[in-house]
Amino acid sequence: MSRYLDRHPSMGLVLRIVAAVLGGYALASAWAVLCGAWAPTRVEGILAGEQTSWLLYVAAVIWAFSPVAPARVWAVLVAATLGMLAAAVWVAQRGA
């Protein structure tokens, strides 16, 4: 994979941009959903989650463009997003 990207650097750039823009958004959204699950008041949790999600989004974009392989960026963002969603489901079910 990394040799392919060495020969096609523009593909690496595209992967990074997609990871940053879409992956970052997905991560931020998952965070908002998680906050909604574990807050004492659901509506307030959703609001607080959205307010803080932007910081996470910016951090994700910054990290996606640091000296890390694009494959790793994808792996981490996908794993973190799924992890947060799973945690949200688990917390919500416990509370329900």
The answer to whether 42 contacts another protein (rule: CB under 8 A) is yes
Q: Which of 3, 4, 66, 93 binds another protein (CB under 8 A)?
A: 66
Q: Which of 44, 75, 86, 95 binds another protein (CB under 8 A)?
A: 44
Specify the long-range contacts of residues 58-61, CB closer than 8 Å, at least 24 apart.
60/20, 60/23, 60/24, 60/27, 60/28, 61/20, 61/21, 61/24
Q: Which residues bind another protein (CB under 8 A)?
A: 6, 9-10, 12-13, 16, 28-30, 32-33, 35-36, 41-51, 53-54, 57-58, 61-62, 65-70, 88
